[in-house]
Structure 1
Amino acid sequence: MLDNITVPVRCVLASGTSFGSKGDEQERIRAGLDPVFARKPNIRLGAKVAGNHGAILRKDFRAVAEAVREVITPDRGRR
């Protein structure tokens, strides 16, 4: 599905544990994005934050806002 995306995308990944996940399940899913980042230059990691997915908008809103700014201002992420 990600290979069909043609617009700029910045991902903000939560590095904390996920509710209901077992073991390193979430980290394996996150690592699965590395090949996508390598083959799709329009899809990049905007930030990896310490929180979990349940609190990312509440606790890491600054990282999310910066990722949005980078998409709407393309030269911003190339500093």
Structure 2
Amino acid sequence: MITAWNPRSRPLSPWQNRKRQHRLFRILDANGYRFLRSLCGVDAWWEESVIVYAMNESKAAKLARQFGQKAFVYLDGRRVWLMYV
């Protein structure tokens, strides 16, 4: 699970976040990844995210870094991990 929203936990405008998220969609599509859009958050901090199927941990970390994220959520089939990058 990854997002392009609010890089380095700095809030951007809704327009900027949507533009970044659509860029993430294009990258995933271009590389043949299937994904499901999701909404994640707590209290006042909500972000649009994607659940990406069949992406390995190193590719997910690279993508998270590319979009300036501090972390992403990774599921290995048995556990859920919060992976810092």
Q: Normalization by structure 1: what TM-score?
A: 0.37
Q: Kindly indicate which of the two structures has a greater share of residues assigned to helix.
A: 1
Higher RCO (Cα < 8 Å, 6 or more apart): 1
Q: Kindly indicate which of the two structures has a greater share of residues assigned to strand.
A: 2
Q: Normalization by structure 2: what TM-score?
A: 0.35
